Amino acid sequence: MISLGEQPGRLAGFRFSVAPMMDWTDRHCRAFHRVLTRRARLYTEMVTTGAVLHGPRERLLGFSVAERPVAVQLGGSDPRELAEAARIAEGFGYDEVNLNVGCPSDRVQDGRFGACLMREPALVGECVAAMKAAVAVPVTVKCRLGVDDQDTGPALDEMARAVFGAGADALVVHARKAWLQGLSPKENRDIPPLDYPRVYELKRAWPEKPVAINGGIRTVGEARAHLDHVDGAMLGRAAYQDPAILLEVDRELFGEEPPAADPFEAVALYEPYVAARLAEGLRLHAMTRHMLGLFNGRPGARAYRRHLATAGTRPDADLATLRAAVALVSREPALEAA
């Protein structure tokens, strides 16, 4: 089996990644996650081609080199626009360009991108080919098993043939269907049943191509188990809502020591970033909102969350506010009721 996580180069870190999540994986979240793991691959929120081509690029695409390896996820379905957006993103320094073929929201359906593209594998292949011709960094695709009444057997196989035939460097599969009719985006993250064996089957059919799995993975241990079958595992909400689990990634999956020994040291490592952003006029809450679950399971975690949700949202909140919240947490890892 390919072991991309051990390879140097632009797909190093594909062995484990944190999923792109709208409204969550912004640059401040990624900077925070990077003090928890050096090796995980991080992703931006999905950015549409229209926003990249016509919007405030620095605000949408700007990031710190300390976040690397980091990938940008694009949403779109026009090959020329995606090629230009990929070229722009490469110019910002991203290590990978990923095409969203999995988001089920009404917005992406109206724009003919996201999960609805599962019905148009040939078009997705054209998009991949156009991006590959435009950039030197890896171009990858994140998709679902299928949508609505599609048979996940041929649907996923056709998508894989299209994207790998067009030169895609890797395929990340969220192991659920997306129901574009009848389920909300939130429900689409939970209600359609998971089918991990279908992704394993896809990997067996493409032994030389990198395939990663996503959906419902809650721990680094579960990620490790998937790696017996596929090349990479991607965590989403679990990594965001309980970020301390990212402290296990480097040691358990890469045989390296993590950047921080525990969540308290992680906060200390994040403080210089927070201080720099505060000096630029950013409010504390923009950064600490990504840290609310850091001390889950420890006595005082509830008081920590409450302090950040109240004092931490005030216009004058600063590093002292963050430190006061952390001081409410016991260094004993005894479980606390939620």
Q: What is the dihedral of CA 154, 155, 156, 159, to 10 degrees?
A: 110
- 181 annotated as belonging to a binding site for a ligand: no
**Residue 174 annotated in ligand binding:** yes
Q: Is 219 exposed, middle or buried (0-12, 13-18, 19+ CB in 10 A)?
A: middle
CA 242, CA 244: separation in Å to the nearest integer? 6
Q: Please check if 142 is assigned to a binding site.
A: yes
Q: Which two tokens stand for residue 314?
A: 């005030």
Coil, strand, or helix at residue 292?
coil
| HSE-up (13 A, CA, CB side) for residue 330 | 10
Please tell me whether 215 is known to bind a ligand.
yes
- Assign 233 to helix, strand or coil: strand
Spot the catalytic one: 29, 103, 127, 143.
103
Q: Flag whether 287 is marked binding.
A: no
DSSP 266-291: HHHHHHHHHHHHHHTT--THHHHTTS
Give one DSSP letter per residue of 61-75, joined into a string.
H---GGG-SEEEEEE
Number of residues that make up the chain = 338
The reply to whether 103 belongs to the active site is yes
Q: Which amino acid is at 210?
A: P
Tell me whether residue 192 is annotated as binding. no
Q: Is 237 annotated as a binding residue?
A: yes
**Residue set of the binding site:** 20-22, 73, 142, 174, 214-216, 236-237
What positions carry a catalytic annotation?
A: 103
Which residues make up each annotated binding site for FMN?
20-22, 73, 142, 174, 214-216, 236-237
